[in-house]
Amino acid sequence: MEKAFSGIDIEARFEHARDVIREAGKRAMEYYEGDAADLAIETKTNALDMVSIADKNVEAIIRDRIGDAFPEDGFLGEEMGIEKGDNDCLWVIDPIDGTACFVNQMPTWCISVALMIGKEAVIGLIYHPCNDELFSAVIGDGARVNGEPAKASSAKRVSDGVMGIGMSHRLPSSSIVPVIGQLLDEEGMFIRNGSCALMMAYASAGRLIGYYEPHINPWDCMAGIVLMREAGGWCNDFLDLPNVLEDGGPILAAGPNVAKHLADMIGISYRG
């Protein structure tokens, strides 16, 4: 690893979290393969922004198992909010990213776990149980898919591959429609599969040329940021945004050759 953090064993945390996310995935699959009608569903703001009992229980598994091993660490989760620790470690958790897909028995959902130390994201884990694929990265040690090296797309033009796009009803359609229009005008193509974390994982493995969403919460993208950067890709300075852990913000991740062009297209500051 390139960076050392005094008194914090990143490798031990990575190895433990890697086991925990697979355990959480096994529990999530039990819900997913069961009767979706048995899942208690709550909507947050609209029918596509929902939480199930599976989300809550999977997050509890992750918090409990990591907390048992590293009781001084803090947590920020989509379902249970923030719990500050006694050190600079903060685990950022999305127990099921793509809940609308999950409860409708579509396979485009995943579990996302990241570790921040201070203002830096140092561990990224995204597990896709339906395909048994674990995307993992530790700062300074590269990105992997099921243990094999992963690399961001080498596409030189947006027409060389497929772009991941995300959108929610937190913003008006005008925040995304012009981007899609310009992408199509340049003979590019896009996909929206319902899970930011999973599409960022795919971008880190070079399956997508990049991913953009005009507003996202930190638990949806934190692991993906680590993965993309360790895979040789580029991300905007999401963690430098004001109050980002509370308010979220825009995320753009892309292969190195198209990153500046996409940033200019969208209007996001690019620093190579």
Q: Which of 180, 201, 182, 206 is nearest to 191 (CA)?
A: 180
What whole-number distance in Å separates Cα of residue 98 and Cα of residue 196? 8
**By three-state DSSP, how is residue 61 classified?**
helix
What whole-number distance in Å separates Cα of residue 70 and Cα of residue 215? 31
Rg (CA), the chain: 17
Please report, as a single letter, which amino acid is at residue 188.
G
Only one residue has tokens 């570790």, namely: 115
Strand-pair partners of 52: 41
- Tell how strand 249-254 and strand 120-128 pair up: unpaired
Q: Where are the beta strands (DSSP E) in 217-256?
A: 234-235, 249-254
Q: Is 191 annotated as a binding residue?
A: no
Only one residue has tokens 């925040």, namely: 175
Q: Are 121 and 226 in contact (CB under 8 A)?
A: yes
Q: Are 93 and 21 in contact (CB under 8 A)?
A: no
Q: Are 239 and 136 in contact (CB under 8 A)?
A: no
Q: Is 72 annotated as a binding residue?
A: no
Q: Is 78 annotated as a binding residue?
A: yes
Q: State the binding site for Mg(2+).
A: 78, 94, 96-97, 220
Q: State the binding site.
A: 78, 94, 96-97, 220
